[in-house]
Structures are given as structure tokens and as C-alpha cells.
Chain A
Amino acid sequence: MKARLRAAAAALILGGLFVGLLAGVRDLPPIGDPSSPASTHVSPRFIEEARRETGALNMVTAVLADYRGYDTLGETAVIFAAGLGAFVILAASIGGPRRETPGPGLSHRVDSLLLDTAARVLAPFLLLFAVYVLVHGHVSPGGGFQGGVLFGLGLVTLRLVWGPPRPDRAASRFGPGVRASFLLASAGLLAYIAIGIAAMAFGGAFLDYGVLPLGQDPAHVRELATLGVEAAVFVAVSGTVAVLFETIAVGVAETGRPLPNEDPAPVEAREEG
């Protein structure tokens, strides 16, 4: 009875919230209105000047890596910090005591000819496509974040099939360990900061790429610097994805308490539903 009362109260509160949100929506400008506040302040400038000022056909890339470069640096730092946090939280298990029988986690090589062959065929195209998405960010949908995630997932795919890197197995050399992944992620973030500082060294503001001595046409210089920033983001994001996978996979599979589906004992530890 108490549970039913609770459910009714929850439904009432959530229903009230939904109705309240819908009522709030009525005061928003209609969807597609070109004169809505969101579309009238800075965004016309971005649309009309991006080509001339930054050289990028893709305005999203221009806004991301140039006009709002500071914000993007912060986002990259957040992503790096998330990877670092996951590593620190689980670091105690990495290098700690191993379970006698490692669980059927994500951390072990899958001995399957099918998966092995598929990974060999798929992986080069996956990784190449990630780089394509990165370098085409100026002229088509794409850029450092998207390409970085794709590249990271390519690494994860290889890692899933081939298991952890081992010196005695050449096929596993593409799967970086935690340390290499961390180096990648840090290098990306540091490269981003370095580009910003380089702009300061040549007399501009932090991340003001136009002053870099890369050519005569400022728009072209900005295009090149933007590509550099996108590449830095690419490296940082792909490294972080690999760090997250490595720490979680190893944390689940090799150390600590068995997972629920392999644990016959204690009954009270089981999940309900």
C-alpha cells in the first residue's frame, strides 16, 4: 500500500513537471522562426563572416575551433579529466591483486577466427575513416570530436578482439595500453594549449590564431590553426576513449569481486529486478 502511494505521488509530481514544461514551451518562439533570440545575436555574424574570417566552409567547425576556441579547450579538458577520474577511481585495481580465475570480462582475447578476420578487414577502414572525418571537418560535417570518438572506438574494436597488448604478439600492437592511451590524451590537450600559447608568443591573445606566421592571408592562417586544434582534440578524445575502455575493462574483468552472473554466493548481494 505504501509503495502504491509512493508511485501515485511520483506520477503526480512528474506529470505536473511535464505539464509545467509544456506550458513553458508555449512562451518560446515557434520552431523555425528566423527572428528568435537564439538566431539573432551572435549567430548571424558567425554565418555571414565565418568564410571570410576563418576560411572554413563548415560554420560549425569555425565556431567550434575558432570563435569559441576557449570553450572547446575547456570541453577537451573536461573529457580528459573524465578519463583521468575513471583511471584514478579504478587505479587501485590495476596493478593490484588479480583474481585467481579472471572473469569473462572485456579484457581477454577472443579466440575466434571469424572475429579476428573481421577485425583485420574492418579496422584499417575504421581508423582511416576517423582521420577522414577529422581532416574534412572544414568542408563537411566532421571534426576533431567526431573523428576522435571514431578513432577511439576503432582502437576499442581491435582491443576487444585481440585482447590486451603483449610484446609476444605482433597483431596486438595497435591496441594501446593504459599508459600509451594516457600519453595520447595528454599530448592532445597539451598540443591545444600549446597552439594557444604560440598565438600569445607572436603577439596575439590566447588562441588568437590569426597572428601565427603561417602565411599572408589571415583566413588561411586561421584555417590551418583550426585544423591543428581539431587534430589536438582528435588525439585527446581518442586517447580518452581508449583510457576509459582500458580502465573499465580491466577493472571489471581481472580484479575484485566477481560479477553478478558468475557469482553463486551470497544471495543477499543479488540485484532485485
Chain B
Amino acid sequence: MTPYALAAALFTLGLGGMVLLPNLVRKLLAMNVMQVAVIVFFIALATKDGGRVPILEPGETEAIAADFMNPLPHTLMLTAIVVSVATTGLALGLLIRIWRQYGSLDERILLSRLRGSGDDATRHGAGDDATRHGAGEPPR
């Protein structure tokens, strides 16, 4: 029960953070909290009373299903963790791009700049300049 409640609490916190926090970096962190909720949930599903870690001792050949934790959720979450690292990196890349274009990561400021004054968004213009140049060269 307790791990499920923890997963529910983390999921609620993460969802609330994603919807309510104005700063995009905080939204990203809230999304990571939601991912942790899913991971906790899956790992809780994998446990068995009296089960041990799903790794055999050297020389052990026979295994009975009731003696071991379920390896399948562990496998799924292992890849999920690494995928979440990679997608977080991708999201950070997007945030840098947004910062460069609009000079802010605050949702309210971004929305006002997207709606109205186009001149505000392009005043600094660094992002526009950069797109005209080729991307083929390595950084130094």
C-alpha cells in the first residue's frame, strides 16, 4: 500500500507542478518527478513476499518463480530511467533554444511575447542570426 501511495503522491505533485509552475525548467523537473512516480509504481509491482533479487548464484541452475522478484518490471524501468535522462537532455536543448529566441523561460512572459509584440521577440535577434550559418562544423 505505502509504495502505491508514494507513487500516487509523486504523480499528483508532478502533474500539478507541470500545470501550475510558470517556469519551464520547473515544469521539466516536475515531469521528472512524474517519471519517478511511474518507476516507483512498477518496482512496487515487481516485489514478491519472500522473493530475492532476480540474480542466480554462480553454480545455481534451477530457479523457482516464487523465490525471485519479477525481473520484467526491473528491466522496463532500467531502460525507462536511461530514456528519461536522454529526453531530459533533449528538453534542456529546447529550453536553451527558447531562451535564445525569447529571452525568457517564464510561461507568462513567453505567451505575451508570442501573442503580441513581434518586435520584442526579435529585438535581440541572436537566434535568428545563428540559424543562417551552417551546422556542419564541430565546436572548435
Contacts and interface: CB of A to CB of B under 8 A. Distances in A.
B114 interface: no
B38 interface: no
A271 B104 CA distance: 7
Contacts of A87: 93
B45 to A, nearest CB: 5
Nearest to A180: B138
Contacts of A72: 79
Contacts of B1: 25, 30-31
Contacts of B109: 268-269
- For the residues of A in contact with B, the DSSP-based class is helix
A82 B68 contact: no
B89 A244 contact: yes
Contact of B93 (A39, A86, A148): A86
A199 interface: no
A226 interface: no
Given A22-B8, A255-B126, A34 B51 contact: yes
B139 A250 contact: yes
A85 B65 contact: no
A16 B67 CA distance: 39
B109 to A, nearest CB: 7
Interface string B71-82: 111110011011
A252 B93 CA distance: 9
Interface residues of B, number: 81
B71 A251 contact: no
Interface in A93-113: 93-97, 107
A79 to B, nearest CB: 4
A96 B55 contact: no
A60 B43 CA distance: 13
B82 A75 contact: yes
B137 to A, nearest CB: 4
B133 A58 contact: no
A184 interface: no
Contacts of B16: 10, 14
Nearest to B125: A257
Interface in A220-273: 237, 240-241, 244-248, 250-252, 254-257, 266, 268-269, 271-273
Contacts of A164: 139-140
Given A34-B66, A86-B92, 7 more contacts: A90-B96, A92-B133, A97-B129, A257-B127, A269-B103, A271-B23, A272-B106
13 contacts: A18-B8, A34-B50, A34-B66, A48-B64, A64-B78, A78-B87, A83-B90, A85-B93, A86-B90, A177-B139, A241-B86, A255-B130, A268-B109
